[in-house]
Chain A
Amino acid sequence: MSQTTIVTGLAVRELWISFRLLLLLAAYVGAGAAAALLPASLPAILVRLAVGVSMAMVAGAAVAAWSLSRDRLLGRAGWLATRSVPRGTILAGWFVALAAVSGLGLIAVGLLGWLAVATPVSRLDPVAFAATCGAIGCSSLALLALGLLLGTLLRPPAAAMGAAVASALIISVAWLALPGIATPVEALMQLARLPVPISVAAQGSGASLAAAAVLVLVARVALERVDL
């Protein structure tokens, strides 16, 4: 078994034992349930779904920041590092673990959301909906990477708070201040009105993955320089 697999498994168990995994899943499922269980018009459901998913992604960034920062502070990352586990592998383990949990949450919220919006009158394209959910998944990866970056640099409370505030700002500024569709959650909100939703989702995925890659790279460089 590779070191990355071992560290990822360890991170998932750490999330499970500390209830952070449940918290993250509950945030996503709660967002889906709020959309699915409360009757409303299609635009209202989409807005509710987008806001709920955004809040879950913010929670994900905070959990990522808290987790890595706490691992550093308690010497757990150091324990791995003194067993020849490269620092990059520790980061990768946390990233994959958090991405997997967020992915599960997004699948759940996607299914619940689809149940809520897939009415005969809505005529939403399932492929466009799935592509938009996929783009949201990519943007959640970027926010997780942001959380890990802050977790590399700050102590747990500051890292979690900083990640939550920064991600909320990124989403809300992109949503409210920038013209056009700047984020995948914004695309989800306007899905019923978009002429080319799959194209918008693809653009959002690409931009989000690029941002995630840059942030993970910066976090890796930072982790190489900090004390464990």
Chain B
Amino acid sequence: MIWPNAPPRQPRASIGAPTGFWMPATGGASLTSSTPDALWSAPSLRALRPAAVSWTDLRRGRELDRCSLSVPVGARLLLVSEPETTASALLRVLAGLSRADDGQVRIAGSSDPTAAGWGERVAYLGPESGLRTWMTPIETLHLAGELLGLSHDERRRRIERAIAWTGIPPALAARSISRGGTDLEQRTGLAAALIAEPEVLLLDEPLRAIEARERSRLLRITGRRLTVVLASRHPASEIGLAAHVAFVRNGRVELIAAVGDLERANLPLSHGGIAALADMRAMQRQAHRAAPA
């Protein structure tokens, strides 16, 4: 599959981009050079690296203004925004929960959000689980499997794996979610998302009720082809969960950088640090443009 929005001859930002990420000129950010994994570092492969998620010229009220970005397969991207609600709004648009006024979303090369397109290849976990808390975790997971049309055996296999990963205690798995509190509700929400074995996982302020170390363990979901986009208002709590950070300001992607770039610039992985890096890159870009050829 060829990366649809970034053909090899597409002009890129002059400073260089994190491998695989692409942002049209309208996005207006400086890009930095980094290599998230060695496999995709060769230029020829980089050109062919498919986008897991790409959105182009998304508009939605005052939140998104011709917002564009392409996230390559296997990326772990932290999405931070100013105002803070924009990242969540963007993820909800990507998940199909909110409608964009304009623009295009392509996931796994398809712009069709139904099950025949990318519907079953994406999972979303938001701050609210959306679960029916009178159901038990087991019932919820069976329901998720049924909706995906999984066979009984396959459903059981995936449920066992999801329960093992999320650490839902067997004693609580057969009791109503409401009895286990928010912790159990959020674990069940994650398990239900993982049942689909998604190619793209959209996480919007996930698992906030769970203790930080355990949360970090739960969100380190393995899978080289799994793409994770994580929207967060507390970037410092996401250390180790993302290799790259994207900063959306005034409805547009202003920065894509490797998380290591913040460290190199002596900036913390915080909202302020990311905003400062975006400002620095903007100044560098201006200086680069102003410099004589």
Residues of B124-145 contacting chain A, CB below 8 A:
124, 126, 128-132, 134, 143-144
- CB < 8 Å neighbour of B147 from A75, A84, A227, A228: A84
Chain A residues in 8 Å Cβ range of B131: 76, 79
A17 with B134: CB separation less than 8 A: yes
> In the complex, what's the smallest C-beta–C-beta distance from B120 to chain A, in angstroms?
5
Does B10 have its Cβ within 8 Å of any Cβ on chain A? Answer: no
Chain A residues in 8 Å Cβ range of B143: 6, 10
Does A38 have its Cβ within 8 Å of any Cβ on chain B? Answer: no
B132 with A84: CB separation less than 8 A: no
Interface string of B69-104 (1 = CB under 8 A from A): 000000000000000000000001001111100000
B132 with A10: CB separation less than 8 A: yes
User: In the assembly, what is the distance between CA of A74 and CA of B189, in Å?
Assistant: 14
Does A3 have its Cβ within 8 Å of any Cβ on chain B? Answer: yes
Does B148 have its Cβ within 8 Å of any Cβ on chain A? Answer: yes
Residues of B97-128 contacting chain A, CB below 8 A:
97-99, 114-115, 119-120, 122-124, 126, 128
Chain A residues in 8 Å Cβ range of B126: 75, 78
User: In the assembly, what is the distance between CA of A96 and CA of B144, in Å?
Assistant: 21
> In the complex, what's the smallest C-beta–C-beta distance from B231 to chain A, in angstroms?
15
A17-B134, A74-B130, A75-B129 given; A80·B97 CB < 8 A = no
Task: Please give the number of chain A residues whose Cβ is less than 8 angstroms from any Cβ of chain B in the complex.
Answer: 22
Q: Which residue of A lies closest to B127 (CB)?
A: A75
User: In the assembly, what is the distance between CA of A85 and CA of B149, in Å?
Assistant: 11
User: In the assembly, what is the distance between CA of A74 and CA of B178, in Å?
Assistant: 14
B114 with A227: CB separation less than 8 A: no
Q: Which residue of A lies closest to B117 (CB)?
A: A84
Q: Which residue of B lies closest to A1 (CB)?
A: B146
Task: Please give the number of chain B residues whose Cβ is less than 8 angstroms from any Cβ of chain A in the complex.
Answer: 27
> In the complex, what's the smallest C-beta–C-beta distance from A6 to chain B, in angstroms?
6
User: In the assembly, what is the distance between CA of A177 and CA of B178, in Å?
Assistant: 49
B196 with A227: CB separation less than 8 A: no
B132 with A83: CB separation less than 8 A: no
Does A119 have its Cβ within 8 Å of any Cβ on chain B? Answer: no
B92 with A83: CB separation less than 8 A: no
Chain A residues in 8 Å Cβ range of B129: 75, 79
The B contact surface, by secondary structure, is loop
A3-B147, A83-B196, A84-B115 given; A227·B97 CB < 8 A = yes
Chain A residues in 8 Å Cβ range of B122: 82
B98 with A82: CB separation less than 8 A: no
Does A161 have its Cβ within 8 Å of any Cβ on chain B? Answer: no
Chain A residues in 8 Å Cβ range of B146: 1, 6
User: In the assembly, what is the distance between CA of A86 and CA of B96, in Å?
Assistant: 11
A84 with B130: CB separation less than 8 A: no
Chain B residues in 8 Å Cβ range of A10: 132, 143
User: In the assembly, what is the distance between CA of A83 and CA of B95, in Å?
Assistant: 10
B97 with A84: CB separation less than 8 A: no
> In the complex, what's the smallest C-beta–C-beta distance from B141 to chain A, in angstroms?
12
> In the complex, what's the smallest C-beta–C-beta distance from A73 to chain B, in angstroms?
9
B123 with A84: CB separation less than 8 A: no
A227 with B148: CB separation less than 8 A: no
Chain B residues in 8 Å Cβ range of A76: 130-132
A82 with B134: CB separation less than 8 A: no
Q: Which residue of B lies closest to A228 (CB)?
A: B97
Chain A residues in 8 Å Cβ range of B95: 82
A3-B147, A74-B128, A75-B126 given; A82·B115 CB < 8 A = no
Q: Which residues of A are in contact with B by a Cβ distance under 8 Å?
A: 1, 3, 6, 10, 14, 17, 74-86, 225, 227-228
Nearest 9 pairs of A and B residues by beta carbon: A79-B130, A75-B130, A84-B119, A84-B115, A75-B128, A82-B124, A83-B147, A227-B98, A228-B97
A-B contact pairs, 12 of them (CB 8 A): A6-B146, A6-B147, A10-B143, A75-B129, A78-B97, A79-B130, A81-B97, A82-B97, A83-B120, A83-B144, A84-B147, A228-B98
